[in-house]
Chains A and B, each alone.
Chain A
Amino acid sequence: MAKKLEVKNLRISFRTPGGKVQAVRGINFDLETGETLAIVGESGSGKSVTSKAILGILAGNSIVEGGEILYDGMDLLKISENEYYKIRGDKIAMIFQDPLSSLNPIMRIGKQLTEAMLLKGRARQRASRDAFNTLLRRLNQTMVRVSAEGDPEKAKELTKMCEDFDKFEFKHIALEKAFNTARDAANETIAELENILFLIEKNAFENPVRRLREEMNIAVKAIHPYVVSDEDAETLRAEAARVKAAAHTAAKTKEYGEICVSLGRIKGILEAAVAKEEPNFFSQGYYLTFSGQPLPDLPVHELNRVLHEYLDEHFMLHFIDYVEASLRYSAQIHDGAKQMVCAKLNAAIDFFGNMSETDDDRDRARAIRAQLGDAVRTSVDPLEIHSDSIAMTFSSSLKDAITVYFGGTKKNITERKRAAKEQAKFDRYTEKKGRRPDWTPMPPALVDMDLARENIVGLCKRLLAHYGDVLQASPNRDFRKEAIAIIDYLKENASGVVNHLTRRMAKQRALKLMDEVGIPEPRKRYRQYPFEFSGGMRQRIVIAIALAADPGMLICDEPTTALDVTIQSQILELINRLKAERHLSIIFITHDLGVVANMADKIAVMYAGKIVEYGTSNEVFYSPAHPYTWALLSSMPDLDTNERLEAIPGTPPNMIYPPKGDAFADRNRYAMKIDFEQEPPMFRISDTHFAATWLLHPDAPKVTPPTIVTERIARMKERSKQEDAGEENN
């Protein structure tokens, strides 16, 4: 599995009147595609701050002191606000804890749901058009350069080919769109009819006139040459009209016999229609655009084959050949450029590794950065579909790192001066005047020069390693496959241009989403305000909004804390289902270990800005190692708990003055002397399980977790054993 997100040594503080609060103190974790990571901890442990850092929405008084957040190879701490616009919502979405404060109180739910869709839809349409046009233009240019060097006739032919592609591709999309609308209508009607028939059977059908009329209007939309045949279309229309006419009397007399027959017939027609094979609109688009003849009258299967052959013969095979040749040519050129970059990077690493803080070196570093930036820019293959984010962010990241390094010297001098001055003032007060001021001098916040230099070298090394991998893989590239991929990409963007989201469609999609997240009567709810919803319903709306842009990663910040058990269970199931369907990566933040057993693949337990235990879900629940995890587990009752709960005494420490040793030592029953003096490192228990407690040190005395925890684990093991035995018997 690919790593979706990597957080490395992240440190975040907040400037407050009382001093600098160290909210996150060096945490590391990574998240793979389709995986759920749960971050568990008390309020104030820094879990929400971490999630906000990932989304780039930290409060104004925050200081990111160090570390990296790599998303798809891009460092989120480095990218600009403009680049973040493409990530927030589209790639990473967030569900907040308090559904009321994340909804606009004076805006109807429907508008809030569709707002982002419409905005993003417009932006995406523009982006698709740009991507389509740019790529096709570049492809055309390269084609001409490769296959028609000095041959204007041939060049013209190639350009015509690209234009033809453009033309019939849009025809294809238009055909497909009409078909999809009709088939969606058919599917929707089938589901709704089943529901209505069930309600009629149970004698619980409400608002029959309105609902039947609405359904019949949708059913008629399914009429399309490829979905419902002409003959059936007539029947469908007639039946729909009959139902509409009979609705009034039926509603009064509660006799639904006739209507049920009609509905059953409509359902039968639609079900047969949906089961039919889908025509190939791509080849059909070409045939209709260029052959100048109507479609041959053949069954769908036969038609598909004939048209496909026609397309291949007249256009597609040649086109793919040209695209392949262009790709090969372009890759060759840019591989050369990449090799050059590698050589330059090696030289740069030598220089950066040994430079000092003089002005000369500063000027040289800047010159090298400019050269490197140009070289990297020319080494990026414009025909690549997915832009290489490491290469793209390299130049700006390097600039920042160099600025930090050379600005650091000056900053350190002023900081030291300031700290010395404050210290002197403090001493004057305490020693000479004998007062006890209510403030303490802030220690100097220094830039670590070695770390800053390492950051610069690290950036270069990362690009070097990345290019090394690319060059190594280069001889084995399958250009035919890539050519087909590029055509698919063009198709996708073309559909992005044609399928622009209208207000109506956005409403349809919002209603579907509302239905998907389990809001009953979405049509009525669509026009209501947030205060008209209960807590659970509000949270569903928030989830629906988060899913509206179809993100790849979801950050859930205590999404179920305000909800009751059934709703919580539903929401968790919903998130799990969406995770499986959309292959989402999820960061799930909560204070309740109980809810994550079902969700999490990995669990990170956080306390006072640090991860104290990190492992797979099974490891953390079945063999917890850190006393804080024990305390969390023993403070919640389960269904078999009868003994007194063990609450964690006291409150978390003040993070303006983090304790010297283990932050949990004060509240820890198992604390040893060393816990108050020295911070424990992360001890490795297995390849995936780590915990930061001195109890794991080989010299530490052996302690057993609280009985409430050991007993529960024993019970859980017993139960799973019994179940296994039961299954075997069955």
Chain B
Amino acid sequence: MLELKNVTKVFNPGTVNEKLALDNFSLTLENGDFVTVIGGNGAGKSTMMNAIAGVWPVDAGQILIDGIDVTKLPEHKRAKFLGRVFQDPMTGTAATMGIEENLALAKRRGHTRFLRPGITKKEREEYKELLKILGLGLEERLTSKVGLLSGGQRQALTLLMATLQKPKLLLLDEHTAALDPKTAAKVLETTEYIVNKDHLTTLMITHNMKDAITHGNRLIMLMDGKIILDIRGEEKKKLTVEDLLHKFEEASGEEFANDKAILG
């Protein structure tokens, strides 16, 4: 489904801030995989996501989605393959537009936009039903501006928008990190529900080791732009946080220094 082949990305090349964010990075996802991604700050998690999404061009390597080479495609052209939810709840939605308008924008992802109506009556009914899945009462507030919603509500809405047109790949970039624990759990629950319902191939970055273990069928850990751990199948099912910390120390030769990841 997704193939990253020897992808390299260097930020600020030739300066003192030069940073090798992805180092000859390769990763292959099978259809229906739900992969959780963990790693410390600066490990390359978000860089990997942005490389897939096409936020900027990579320096070397190849990116294929469902066999299609998207390496050279700009961000807006890759969008038709991808559903994305960002860490910052403000990023995924248009604050000055209504809930239904945001959904309608997402509904047209991958289609040529022309002078047809931006939203139709039939769609409104459809969105009303869809919003009920979230259980946040948003179905009664279709025309409310998204700027009036809380962070959790916005993330849930973004999740719905990302999956409205079934994406080939769902990218979740720490999408619960900015939320309080209760809201985060709720958004994660919704995520699990939607991913299972639509059998979506998913990449989810998280800071929370427990979440990384409970969700998905495969777990990868990144460090210095490389995959240092790759656990899947039966092994993943039996995994505990202690195992993971132990494996991390073995793989990296150092102690895991991120309290948030352990305690969170």
Q: Is this pair of chains taken from one and the same complex?
A: no
